Amino acid sequence: ISIPVAIVAGIGRSARNGILIKGGEYLETSAKISAVAVDKTGTLTEGRPVLTDIVVLDPKANRSEVLRWAAAAEAGSEHPLAGPILDTAREEGVAPEGVPDSVTPVVGKGIVVEVDGKRVLIGNIPLLEQYGIEGSAGADSAADELAAAGNTPMIVAVDETVLGVIGVADTIRVDAPEMIRRLHASGVEKVVMLTGDTRLVAEAIGEAVGIDEIHASLLPEDKLDAVARLQREGHTVAMVGDGVNDAPALATADIGVAMGAAGSAVAVETADIALMGDNLLKLPEAIRLARRTVSVMRQNIWIALITVVVLLVGVFAGGVTMAVGMLVHEGSVLIVIFNAMRLLRNTHLDGGTRKDTARDT
């Protein structure tokens, strides 16, 4: 009973806090976490990007034309970055009336579509290079400026001409820096960002929130490799993500953590722990609770062992009757249960100092 009662109390306490742990083994593994890998979009950021800039590069084009072609390319797309482009196009009266004639996604680079007999590309520099479009030098410079400011740049080209660059930004979650501070306070050695965004954008976000290590321009399989690399370094790794692209890394990590409220169904299903809300501070709370639970489990084991030793000594010394033995044994069981019930008390981690308060409900 020493271990099960602690696990049940720990899982119950986490569930009351909006942290769904899918089994005792995941609770025990969470207590060993030494490295946390986090996705950027939708995890460190709000996941609700807005269009911030339209840089016109072609002298024959204007702002509305760049926006119109970008919206035409993104029409019908469910990608998170398509939303702000289409919303702005509707606000400015240049929204497309239909969807592209054909759409060719290029993994990690962007998309290529056919609209009104023209080929439209929207993506990054490698996409332009792949299709042999010249004039990428100016686009590269404009994209770097936007990325350095924390915006995701998307280059718009029609046929062989680069029209401009669109910048889209996502707001950093207000609790992201505090989450990282609390992770370190709870004993996590390294917090790593894994993102498909460009390095300049990732570095701007990473510097703002205090990330230890950044890996940018990653495909889903690259995120998986990054998690495996951390494991080879000897870390017990938790991967935090919210999208379909994060599912392989979530499955590979020792503990997969999904942002339940904003996360995709695939991410929540793949993960071992689901945070049922948008509060990032639930992550360090889950790790701290897991460590407290394992600590209580060890205490309970010692209580049980000491009780057995005392009873054995008493039996051999001739001073313990069956009635006394049963009384002492049942007393130790009650002690173990009450010790585990301490996990049901409210606890908060603030700068590494634990504060306990009685829970009203």
- In degrees and rounded to multiples of 5, residue 221 shows phi and psi of -70, -25
Residue 25: which residues within 8 A CB-CB, separation 6 or more? none
Residue extents of the structural domains in the chain: 19-44+173-282, 50-169, 287-357
Superfamily holding 19-44+173-282: HAD superfamily/HAD-like (3.40.50.1000)
Between the CA atoms of 258, 259, 264 and 270, what dihedral angle is there, to the nearest 10 degrees? 10
Residue 297: enclosing H or E segment and its boundaries?
helix 282-317
pLDDT at position 345 is 77
Q: What is the pLDDT of residue 353?
A: 40
Cβ(283)–Cβ(275) under 8 Å? yes
Q: For residue 223, what pLDDT is reported?
A: 93
CATH of domain 50-169: 3.40.1110.10
According to the model, what pLDDT value does residue 29 have? 96
3-state SS, residue 24: helix
Beta bridge partners of 152: 168
Angstrom distances, CA of residue 174 to CA of 45, 148, 170, 280, 347? 9, 20, 12, 9, 22
Name the pTM for this structure. Answer: 0.80
Q: Of 39, 170, 246, 272, which one is the catalytic site residue?
A: 39
> Please, which residues have CB within 8 angstroms of residue 37's CB and are 6 or more apart in sequence?
191, 192, 193, 194, 223, 226, 227, 230, 237, 238, 239, 240, 249, 253
Instruction: Let me know if 175 is a catalytic residue.
Output: no
Could you read off the pLDDT tens digit of each residue along the chain, which spans 361 residues?
778 888 888 999 999 989 999 999 999 999 999 999 999 988 899 888 999 999 999 999 999 999 999 999 999 887 878 999 999 999 999 998 888 989 998 877 899 999 989 999 999 988 998 998 876 678 889 999 998 888 999 999 999 899 999 999 998 999 999 999 999 999 999 999 999 888 989 999 999 999 999 999 888 899 999 999 999 999 999 999 876 678 889 999 999 998 865 556 666 777 899 888 888 999 999 999 999 999 999 998 898 888 888 888 887 787 777 777 788 777 878 888 888 888 887 655 444 444 443 333 3
170: left (phi over 0), alpha (psi -120 to 50) or beta: beta
Q: How far apart are CA 247 and CA 256, in angstroms?
A: 9
Q: Which amino acid is at 185?
A: A
Going through the chain in order, the beta strands assigned E by DSSP cover: 19-21, 35-39, 50-56, 102-106, 110-115, 118-123, 152-158, 161-169, 190-194, 213-215, 237-241, 255-259, 273-275, 346-350, 353-357
